[in-house]
Amino acid sequence: MQQAINRSDLIADLASVCDNLEESIVDEAVREMFGIMVDCLSKDGRIEIRGFGSFCLHHREARQARNPKTGQVVAVQAKSVPHFKPGKALRESVNLINDE
């Protein structure tokens, strides 16, 4: 079982696969890509990568909640939460790996 991959691992892997590009160039590209994705979502946009999946925001309304420790009623503000929905090809690939 593989451990989680972090951004620096992703950058190193991409640099080695892409004809040994300098990690600094790949790092800049990855940072720019993530920045564009964050910017799009912050403007209530949607990101769709065919075969991989889509990112969008789920909007949660304001509500009343309880502090489990004290039982006191607490107001929870409305917020937007990023949501990822895997594409069909990703789901099938993951299921093939798990079936082996």
Q: For residue 1, is it within any domain?
A: no
| Domains: count for the chain | 1
Residue 26 in any domain: the answer is: yes
Residue 86 falls inside a structural domain: yes
We report the CATH number of the domain holding residue 40 as 4.10.520.10
The two tokens of residue 84 are 């990822």
Matching residue, tokens 């950058």? 11
Burial class of residue 11, CB neighbours in 10 A (0-12, 13-18, 19+): buried
- Is 2 contained in some domain? no
Flag whether 76 is in a domain: yes
Output the pTM of the full model. Answer: 0.77
Residues 17-34, mean pLDDT to the nearest whole number: 90
What pLDDT, on a 0 to 100 scale, did the predictor assign at position 60?
96
Domain that holds residue 25: 7-99
25 located within any domain: yes
Confidence (pLDDT) at 3: 82
Domain contains 19: yes
Each residue's pLDDT tens digit, 43-90? 999 999 999 999 999 999 999 999 999 999 999 999 999 999 999 999
pLDDT for 53 equals: 96
- Reference 29, options 41, 14, 17, 40; nearest CA is 14
